Amino acid sequence: MKEYNDDGVYGFRFQTLDGRPCALKDFEGKVLLIVNVASKCGLTPQYADLQLLYDKYKPRGLEILGFPSNNFGAQEPGTHEEIYQFCTQNYGVTFPMFEKISVSGEDAHPLYKYLAEHTYAPVKWNFQKFLVDKTGKAVQSFEPTMTVEDSRIIEAIEALL
């Protein structure tokens, strides 16, 4: 039984790392890049590239949404406050960061079940990226090791903007 409706990502609500409620419906009309992140991963330096991408494309309608997860190698053990401090102090992250959730396995959050089902891409590791169009529909997934500097990601984002 699926745990989400057919409104794409817009039916989901979360708390930000600083405790504010946020409905993904608030991002309606934007292109979204949803990324499961971790502070103690070999891929963690991708935060810097994600922030550069956000700075460049936010004025054109891109939002990057970070979802900390401890699913892979227990590489996100911190509290919400510790994660927030780490991201802002080490990488200057200003894109929205949300509460820590499970992104894989039986206890995966329904958002990630939706993303995996609609892109035919199960979450393989930290920093997997899901591209969502302006209507809230998941359209593509990118491997964790593929950085956002990759032309395939840039072209896909630009095509949706």
pLDDT at 51: 98
What are the distances in angstroms from CA 95 to CA 17, 90, 107, 143, 151? 11, 14, 26, 20, 21
Q: Which residues of 91-112 are buried (b: 16+ CB within 10 A; e: fewer)?
A: bebebbbbebbbbbeeebbebb
Tell me the C-alpha distance between 142 and 148, whole Å. Answer: 9
Residue 59, token pair as written in the block: 């004025």
Q: Are the C-beta atoms of residues 155 and 57 closer than 8 Å to each other?
A: no
pLDDT at 160: 98
CA atoms within 13 A on the CB side of 78: 18
**Three-state SS for 38?**
coil
Kindly give the pairing relationship between strand 62-68 and strand 31-37.
parallel
- Provide the residue ranges of all domains of the chain, joining segments of one domain with +: 13-23+30-130+141-160
Active site residue 41: yes
CATH 3.40.30.10 fits 13-23+30-130+141-160, yes or no: yes
Active-site residue (options: 22, 28, 41, 124): 41
Q: What is the pLDDT along the chain (161 residues), one digit of tens a residue?
A: 445 556 789 999 999 998 999 999 999 999 999 999 999 999 999 999 999 999 999 999 999 999 999 999 999 999 999 999 999 999 999 999 999 999 999 999 999 999 999 999 999 999 999 999 999 999 999 999 999 999 999 999 999 99
> Which two three-digit tokens encode residue 48?
């810097």
Whole-prediction pTM value? 0.95
- Per-residue confidence (pLDDT) for residue 95, from 0 to 100: 98
What gap in Å lies between CA 89 and CA 47, rounded to an integer? 11
- The token duo for 37 is 């992140």
| Nearest-angstrom CA–CA distance, 95 and 9 | 17
pLDDT of residue 1: 40
How much is the pLDDT for 8?
Answer: 86
Beta bridge partner(s), residue 141: 130
